[in-house]
Each structure stands twice: as C-alpha cells, then as structure tokens.
Amino acid sequence: MTKTAGPSSRKSYTYLGTVDDSVFRYKWDIDIDLKYLNNMLLRKAVMGERIVLNDGYLLNLPAAREALLNPSKSPLKLLIEQNFVRILQRNESLAELPEAMASQGVESFEGLRKSAEWSDLGPMLKRWEPVLQQYQNFLPWPKKDISHGFTLMMQRLQGHTVQGLGLNHVSDDLWRRVLDTYLEQSEQSHAAARTRWENLVLELAGQEPQAKSLVDELMGLANQVYHYNFGVCLSAVRDPAQAGSSLDSSTIAVETRYSPAFADLLQVDSVMDTVTFDAPTLKLPRRVPVDARDFWEQLVRPDTELGEKRAGFVDSYEAYLNGEIDRKQLEDIADDYSRRLLRSCGEVETRSRTARLGRTAMSLGFVGAGTLLGGPVFALLLWVAENAAVPTVMKVLRRRGQEVELPVAGSKSRTPEPVNAGGAGTQLASVQLDPAKASELVSQIRDFG
C-alpha cells in the first residue's frame, strides 16, 4: 500500500523575483516573454507553489501587462482571481500606482504612465480592483523601509570578492568603488535605493570597456539583493484573508538567481560546487490550454480531484525527502498524478505517447548537498524540462538521513550527472529562507513611516 505524508500545516509562498521588470531590463540569460511567464505559472501550479508578486512587477513587466489585457493568452489573471497569485500592494490603488511612484523618482513608472498601453490598462485595473478586493487577494506592503533593508543587505556584502559574488567581468576595484559610493550616499538617504544603485552603476561603469557586461552584472547582483531583502520583509506582512495572521508562520521562498554570497540566509548548511541529480518525471500535457478556466481552477484549488492529486504528490515528495517512503512509492504517485494531468487536458497516456511526452516532461531532481556530522542533510531540487520549456531551477529542501547520490532518470548508464551549483552563469533558485535568520534581519530594518 502506498504511503503518503499528511498535508503540511504551514502555508508556503514564493516571492517571484524572476519576473522583476529590472531583470527584464538587465537580463539573466532568460527572456521574460509571455511564453516564459506561462511556463513559469504552469510549473508553480503543478507543484502548488503559491506566488507573491509585487504590484510594480505586475505593471512594469510587458509580458504581465499583455497577460492582463489579453486573458485568452495567459492564465495569470485567472490565477490572481483564484488567490494562487497574490499581489503585494503598496498603496490603495493599482491604477494610481504609476503616478505615485513616478513622483518618487522611479523612472520605469513614469515611462508606463506616459505609454499608449496605459490608456487601456489603467481603466481595466479600475474595473478589476473591486473584484480582487472582494476576494481579499491583496497582501499589504511590508511595514518596513524596503530601501533601508536593501542598504543593510548591501552592507552584508562588504568584504566579499568579486569571485565570491559571481561577478566575472567586474574588477575588485570597480566593485569597491560602486559599493563604497552607494553606502556613503545612503548615509544621507535610503529612498529609492535600487534606482540610486542603478544610476550609480551607469555613472561609474557605463563608460568602461565592456560596459554592458559590467552594468548587467552589477545590476544582476542588485536584483538578487532586492529579492532576498523582500523575502525577509515578507515575514512582517499580515494576510487579511487569514484573519490578519502574520506570514512569519508560513514558509517563505525566494525565486531569484542563485549566489553563494547569500547562502547564510537559506536553510542550507553547506553548498557543494558539484552535485548530482535524479529525475522522477511528471509527464505534462503537450498542449496546456492557457485559457482553459476549468483546468487551471481544478489544478490550483484544493477541493478538486486534480487538486487532491497534486497535494498528494507534493506531500509524498516531502515524505521521500524525509525518508518516509521509498522511490518506487513516489514514482507510483507521480505516475498517477501525471495521468490525471493528461486526462484533464484531453490526453491519454499510451506507450507511444509516453515517448513523445518525454520532450515535455518536468523532471524533478534531487541534489545532494553534503553530509554534516550529527546534523541534517539538505538537498537541492532541480527542475528541468528536456525541451527547455521550463527553466532550470534549484529549490532548497531539507532531507534527513544520508547523503543523496541518485542516478539520472532515463540514463542508460545510470551514472550520476554533475551539475555546477556554485559556478558562473544563470542558475535560477527557488530557496527557502531560514526563519530564524529572516526574523533577525527584519528586526534590524526600520519600520516604514
């Protein structure tokens, strides 16, 4: 008889830094277009990972605006209405946000306010906001000075070498000049911190040889700082849909680019340069209808058959990581969930189709992160789509027991395949923040107002 774990009592939320409009402008080797956005939403929905999205990301990202204005092209609007995607709202109105932020010197909002697209998006938001308020979708903006937190996070990077920060083109001298000048300016004001950093980077690095590479790397680091800082500040947010309970009782993850410089914020005791992964596979439908309301509602709601299959799979994955069930039991549950996913999109798994579906499979791989004497073992969870439809993402999870050395699924040699977890390049990571560390850091950030 297959054994599954009981559902977790803690809600989980992922702060989605990968759709930051600043990441769109200073690219991480990913193209955040509508296809990317839809694939990301599918990946999150399949695993039941609720999303927290800044109101600014929602309005400034072209793909998100397209998704809102054309709901037949994306499930984003529906998933927001289902409270699977929650919006962090900094003032009382999405429609009034561009003008308010432009007055504070945030140039991206000024451009949005003056764009031709705003003439359609603004009125749409005014009509839509009462619906979201009725569903209690909005999460209040953290009662913390986000810019002050950004500066404190930058202070933590003092003393790091450019190699330790994953900066391949920036010299130590340029890094120190940018950081020291920023921190000196911050003694006068913390306002619009990331915008000030951006202006400083453009001033000090913009005229250098290889300027684009330098600016992209320094802004890429700033984006990571912004995302981790926001994840920390989320613990101070109270959820009106849960009787005002604080999110500090929830599991908070941050999806951003991985960097060992922030490893002390995560639930990881050690990070290895080379790790191995295995991939029990979820077979996804070849064509997921982005406008099929019934499919997406059934997938993210807990009270449907598909939602129950999803929850059972996620709980079983956790049980496997904790050593409570074996691999065969997990594979059986994954196969059952896969069949239900296929059936929901009008597809039936057959031997011939299974072979073709391998190109659209979501591989969920375990990554051993080292064994500590007398302590727990942590594992990284890699998401891989063989056709690159779903970006590679690491997720930090706890595993009790012995170090994991698992072979690659589908590999004839059954030889573990190395993955560089700490090297250069873009490794997107969905990582759980250490609750104690987050609580310590958020207490150091000034309250807003």
Banded model confidence at residue 279, pLDDT cuts 50, 70, 90: very low
Choose the final residue of a domain: 96, 124, 140. 140
**Do 326 and 408 have their domain in common?**
yes
More confident residue, 352 or 216: 216
Q: Which pLDDT score, from 0 to 100, does residue 284 have?
A: 73
Banded model confidence at residue 186, pLDDT cuts 50, 70, 90: very high
**Do 296 and 410 have their domain in common?**
yes
Per residue in 280-334, pLDDT tens? 667 777 778 888 899 999 999 999 999 999 999 888 877 876 678 888 898 899 8
C-alpha–C-alpha distance, residues 65 and 187, integer Å: 36
Does some domain include residue 101? Answer: yes
Taking a C-beta distance cutoff of 8 angstroms, is the pair 161, 176 a contact? no
Does some domain include residue 235? Answer: no
C-alpha–C-alpha distance, residues 359 and 380, integer Å: 23
**Do 128 and 173 have their domain in common?**
no
**Do 278 and 417 have their domain in common?**
yes
Banded model confidence at residue 103, pLDDT cuts 50, 70, 90: confident
The letter for the amino acid at 354 is T
Q: Which pLDDT score, from 0 to 100, does residue 402 have?
A: 29
C-alpha–C-alpha distance, residues 65 and 55, integer Å: 11
**Farthest CA pair distance, the chain:** 66
Choose the final residue of a domain: 140, 174, 205. 140
Cα torsion angle, 281, 283, 286, 287, sign: negative
More confident residue, 281 or 382: 281
Q: Which pLDDT score, from 0 to 100, does residue 387 have?
A: 28
Q: How many CB atoms lie within 10 A of CB 82?
A: 18
Q: What is the 3-state secondary structure (H, E, C) of the chain?
A: CCCCCCCCCCCEEEEEHHHCHHHHHCCCCCCCCHHHHHHHHHHHHHHCCEEEEEHHHHHHCHHHHHHHHCHHHCCHHHHHHCCCEEEEECCCCCCCHHHHHHCCCCHHHHHHHHCCCHHHHHHHHHHHHHHHHHCCCCEECCCECHHHHHHHHHHCCCCCCCCCCCCCCCCHHHHHHHHHHHHHHHCCCCCCHHHHHHHHHHHHHCCCCCHHHHHHHHHHHHHHHHHHHHHHHHCCCEEHHHCCEEHHHCEEEEEEECCHHHHHHECCCCCCCEEEEECCEEECCCCCCCCCHHHHHHHHCCCCHHHHHHHHHHHHHHHHHCCCCCHHHHHHHHHHHHHHHHHHCCCCCCHHHHHHHHHHEEEEEEEECCCCCCCCEEEEEEEEECCCCCCCEEEEEEECCCCCCCCCCCCCCCCCEEEECCCCCCCEEEEEECHHHHHHHHHHCCECC
pLDDT of 362 higher than 70: no
Choose the final residue of a domain: 89, 118, 140. 140
Banded model confidence at residue 192, pLDDT cuts 50, 70, 90: confident
Does some domain include residue 264? Answer: no
Domain count, the chain: 3
pLDDT of 185 higher than 50: yes
Does some domain include residue 312? Answer: yes
Containing domain of residue 105, as a range? 12-140
Per residue in 397-422, pLDDT tens? 333 332 322 222 222 333 323 233 33
**Do 285 and 317 have their domain in common?**
yes
C-alpha–C-alpha distance, residues 392 and 207, integer Å: 34
**Do 24 and 82 have their domain in common?**
yes
Q: Which pLDDT score, from 0 to 100, does residue 210 have?
A: 92
Does some domain include residue 199? Answer: yes
**Do 281 and 414 have their domain in common?**
yes
* Strand duo 393-399 + 361-368: pairing: unpaired
**Do 98 and 23 have their domain in common?**
yes
pLDDT of 267 higher than 90: no
Does some domain include residue 316? Answer: yes
**Do 416 and 314 have their domain in common?**
yes
Lowest pLDDT segment from 136-145, 194-203, 243-252:
243-252
Lowest pLDDT segment from 16-25, 28-37, 392-401, 434-443:
392-401
Please state, rounded to an integer, the average pLDDT across all residues of the chain. Answer: 76
Banded model confidence at residue 423, pLDDT cuts 50, 70, 90: very low
**Do 29 and 136 have their domain in common?**
yes
**Do 23 and 131 have their domain in common?**
yes
* Strand duo 251-257 + 50-54: pairing: unpaired
Does some domain include residue 246? Answer: no
Does some domain include residue 269? Answer: no
Q: Which pLDDT score, from 0 to 100, does residue 330 have?
A: 86
Q: Among the ranges 37-41, 107-111, 217-221, which has the highest mean pLDDT value?
A: 217-221
Taking a C-beta distance cutoff of 8 angstroms, is the pair 261, 165 a contact? yes
pTM: 0.78
Banded model confidence at residue 69, pLDDT cuts 50, 70, 90: very high
**Do 319 and 406 have their domain in common?**
yes
Q: Which pLDDT score, from 0 to 100, does residue 382 have?
A: 36
Q: Which pLDDT score, from 0 to 100, does residue 8 have?
A: 42
Per residue in 148-173, pLDDT tens? 999 999 999 998 999 889 899 999 99
Lowest pLDDT segment from 38-42, 59-63, 345-349:
345-349
Over range 374-402, report the average pLDDT.
33
